[in-house]
Amino acid sequence: MASAQQNIPTTQSALQWVRVSGQNPFEWTTSAPVIQPSQLDDHQVLVRNHAVSLNPIDYKMAELNFANIKLPATTGYDISGEVVAIGKEVKDLKVGDEVFGLLNLDSSNGGGALQQYSVAEADGIVKKPPNISHEEAATLGVAFLSAMDGFRQVNVDSSTTVFIPGGSGGVGHFSVQIAKIRGAKRVITSASKDEGITILKDQYHIQDVINHAKENVTDRVLELTQNQGVDLTYDSTYLESSFEKSIPTVKAGGTWIVLGHYGQPDSQEAKSVAQRKANLIHADLGRYWFGPERAQMKTLVQDALTQGAEWIIQGKLKPYINQIVKLEEAQNAIEKIKQGKAGFGKVVIKL
* CATH code that applies to domain 11-139+294-350: 3.90.180.10
Residues with Cβ within 8 Å of 50's Cβ and at least 6 positions away in sequence, in order, are 80, 81, 82, 134, 138, 350, 351
Question: Does position 3 have pLDDT exceeding 60, yes or no?
Answer: no
For the chain, domain boundaries:
11-139+294-350, 146-285
Q: Coil, helix or strand for 136?
A: helix
Q: Do 146-285 and 11-139+294-350 fall under one CATH topology?
A: yes
Question: Does position 8 have pLDDT exceeding 60, yes or no?
Answer: yes
Beta bridge partners of 211: 191
* pLDDT score of 5: 55
Is-above-0.85 flag for pTM? yes
* pLDDT score of 286: 83
What's the pLDDT tens digit per position in 303-317? 999 999 999 999 999
Q: Right CATH number for 146-285 from 3.90.180.10, 3.40.50.300, 3.20.10.10, 3.30.930.10?
A: 3.90.180.10
Output the CA–CA distances (angstroms, integers) from residue 331 to 26, 28, 33, 62, 109, in the order listed: 7, 8, 19, 12, 22
More confident residue, 297 or 305: 305
More confident residue, 275 or 24: 275
Work out the widest C-alpha separation in the chain, in whole angstroms.
Answer: 64
Reference 253, options 276, 228, 233; nearest CA is 276
Integer-rounded Cα Rg, in Å, for the chain is: 20
Q: Which helix (H) or strand (E) holds 148?
A: helix 142-151
DSSP type of residue 115: B
Span 23-38, mean pLDDT?
A: 93
* pLDDT score of 292: 77
Peptide bond into 72 cis (omega under 30): yes
Is residue 235 within 8 Å of 259, Cβ to Cβ? yes
* pLDDT score of 131: 97
Q: Coil, helix or strand for 190?
A: strand
Reference 129, options 154, 152, 100; nearest CA is 100
* pLDDT score of 247: 98
Mean pLDDT, the chain, as a whole number?
A: 93
Lowest-pLDDT range of 5-19, 176-190, 285-299, 334-348: 285-299
Please spell the DSSP secondary structure of 12-73, one letter per residue.
EEEEEE-S--SS--EEEEEEEE---GGG--TTEEEEEEEEEE--HHHHHHHHH-TT-PPSSE
* pLDDT score of 274: 98
